[in-house]
């Protein structure tokens, strides 16, 4: 299964259309790791998702970001738009689970969680679930693509879950200064970078293998 993975759209749907125009015949779905908008209403976030779905003709899986309407957390989605927040959804031969929003910040953005709240939203599963699990979170994992202004701002609860569960893959966003792919144990960690600046990732997801490449509009 080939996925187009983006994050931190911040209303720049035109960048998505440019990327998808030369990839849409190759991808099976799009995953969006949050921040569809910059503090705009619920309806605007839905419009962004519909534009992505309609342009590619493929399903869109998403979590809201800290700059999105809190209403998106409980929205059930619609045809070919699937809300991952606190939901297990089948993705090919694997499972995907998401947690939207950001962790606590000095900026008091629209969706923020304490570390205890983030921990409470993590899934429970045995090793057979973990080895088939793709996590999608807007908030990064502590020490992975999370450095901003000289500090690591990622979630320690996510870091502990990464070590305990070792999911197949983990997709994050939020910190605009980063993009890339790395391995930690058996987990492929993917930060596509901010779509608003033209960044994206292509992820080939197999039964027990993940191949991911980050790209940028030229």
Total structural domains within the chain: 1
10 Å Cβ neighbour count for 189? 22
Output the CA–CA distances (angstroms, integers) from residue 186 to 46, 55, 77, 193, in the order listed: 34, 34, 31, 22
- Which residues span the domain enclosing 119? 2-216
Examine the pLDDT at 199 and tell me if it is beyond 90. Answer: yes
Per-residue confidence (pLDDT) for residue 24, from 0 to 100? 83
* pTM listed for this prediction: 0.97
Which residues touch 28 (CB under 8 Å, ≥6 apart)? 1, 2, 3, 58, 92
Dihedral pair phi/psi, residue 96, rounded to 5°: -120, 140
Instruction: Report d(CA 156, CA 172) in Å as an integer.
Output: 14
How confident is the model over 82-114, as pLDDT tens digits?
999 999 999 989 999 999 999 999 899 999 999
10 Å Cβ neighbour count for 42? 15
How confident is the model over 156-181, as pLDDT tens digits?
999 999 999 999 999 999 999 999 99
Examine the pLDDT at 125 and tell me if it is beyond 80. Answer: no
Average pLDDT in the chain: 97
Question: Which CATH number do you get for residue 19?
Answer: 3.60.21.10
């Amino acid at each position: 299964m080939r996925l187009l993975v983006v994050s931190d759209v911040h209303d720049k749907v035109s960048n998505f259309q440019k990327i998808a125009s030369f990839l849409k015949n190759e991808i099976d779905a799009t995953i969006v790791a949050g921040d569809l908008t910059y503090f705009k209403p619920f309806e605007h976030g839905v419009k962004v998702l519909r534009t992505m779905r309609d342009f590619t003709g493929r399903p869109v899986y998403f979590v809201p970001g800290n700059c999105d309407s809190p209403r998106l957390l409980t929205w059930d989605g619609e045809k070919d738009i699937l809300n991952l927040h606190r939901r297990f959804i089948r993705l090919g031969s694997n499972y995907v689970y998401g947690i939207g929003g950001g962790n606590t910040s000095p900026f008091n953005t629209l969706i923020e969680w304490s570390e205890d709240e983030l921990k409470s939203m993590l899934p429970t599963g045995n090793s057979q679930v973990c080895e088939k699990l793709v996590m999608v979170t807007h908030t990064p994992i502590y020490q992975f693509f999370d450095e901003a202004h000289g500090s690591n701002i990622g979630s320690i609860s996510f870091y502990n879950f990464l070590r305990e569960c070792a999911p197949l893959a983990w997709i994050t966003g939020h910190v605009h200064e980063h993009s890339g792919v790395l391995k930690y144990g058996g987990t492929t960690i993917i930060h596509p970078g901010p779509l608003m600046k033209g960044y994206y990732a292509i992820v080939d997801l197999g039964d027990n293998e993940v191949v991911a490449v980050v790209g940028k509009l030229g």
